[in-house]
């Protein structure tokens, strides 16, 4: 099993790299952010409860996150590897996950810290667009989009996230620095931490991740 998590600021590219890993290695993927956005889109009880919080860039309650995550993990059978994207975001979440899954097939094997500076991260977040049909992620500053507002891969409509604005980004970045960044130390002590630079070449970043999980 090659289970992977990322420590990465918003915009560092964990969603993009997760998609690439899924495609090439057939790994299973769960994104806590996507699970929450699904709840919001479906206007479920949870969705309605967390909608404003997400827009403001604040974190969702741990019990909600763990319920959603556990429901998803049990669906993965005979996995080659699981990418958990957007989680853990705090020391409490990391500890609780290790308590629950530290001895199981879901335990974390690789922690990939994607290093990016705040200015670059903000540019990426403000330029981000996601296909509402197939989930492909684009950036209007870096990717050539063949037809305005349409996905290159499937023609679906490209949409921006409600929290991809400057104010929410700044909040999320600070929550990241305060709550998530300290996890580097936690995983360093477990000998699971690998650091890569978030260059603007997503193939290059992918190559670095492949090197890590293939032990090169």
Beta carbon of residue 65, minimum distance to ligand ADP (angstroms, whole number):
5
Does 172 participate in binding ligand ADP (rule CB under 6 A)? Answer: yes
Beta carbon of residue 146, minimum distance to ligand ADP (angstroms, whole number):
25
SS3 state of residue 150: strand
Q: How far apart are CA 139 and CA 141, in angstroms?
A: 5
In this chain, which of 7, 30, 46, 65 binds ligand ADP, going by CB under 6 A?
A: 65
Does 59 participate in binding ligand ADP (rule CB under 6 A)? Answer: yes
Q: How far apart are CA 118 and CA 125, in angstroms?
A: 10
Does 60 participate in binding ligand ADP (rule CB under 6 A)? Answer: yes
Beta carbon of residue 216, minimum distance to ligand ADP (angstroms, whole number):
27
Q: How far apart are CA 172 and CA 161, in angstroms?
A: 13
Cβ proximity to ligand ADP, 124 vs 155, nearer residue: 124
Say what the alpha-carbon torsion angle 62, 67, 68, 71 is, to the nearest 10 degrees: 150
- Give one word for 13, left, alpha or beta, with left for phi > 0 and alpha for psi -120 to 50: left
Interface with ligand ADP in residues 89-108 (CB under 6 A): 89, 93
């Amino acid at each position: 099993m090659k289970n992977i998590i990322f420590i990465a600021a918003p915009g560092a590219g964990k969603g993009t790299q997760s998609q690439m890993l899924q495609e090439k290695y057939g790994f299973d993927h769960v994104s806590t952010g996507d699970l929450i956005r699904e709840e919001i889109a479906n206007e479920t009880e949870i969705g309605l409860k967390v909608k404003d919080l997400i827009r403001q860039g604040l974190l969702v309650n741990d019990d909600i996150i763990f319920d959603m995550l556990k429901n998803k993990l049990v669906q993965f059978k005979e996995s080659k590897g699981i990418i958990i994207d957007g989680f853990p975001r705090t020391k409490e979440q990391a500890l609780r996950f290790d308590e629950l899954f530290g001895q199981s097939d879901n335990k974390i094997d690789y922690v990939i810290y994607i290093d990016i500076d705040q200015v670059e991260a903000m540019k990426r977040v403000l330029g981000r667009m996601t296909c509402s049909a197939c989930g492909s992620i684009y950036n209007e500053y870096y990717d050539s989009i063949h037809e305005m507002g349409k996905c290159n891969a499937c023609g679906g409509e490209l949409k921006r996230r409600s929290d991809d604005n400057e104010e929410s980004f700044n909040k999320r970045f600070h929550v990241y620095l305060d709550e998530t960044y300290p996890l580097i130390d936690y995983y360093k002590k477990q000998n699971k931490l690998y650091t890569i630079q978030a260059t603007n070449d997503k193939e290059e970043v992918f190559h670095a991740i492949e090197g890590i999980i293939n032990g090169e």
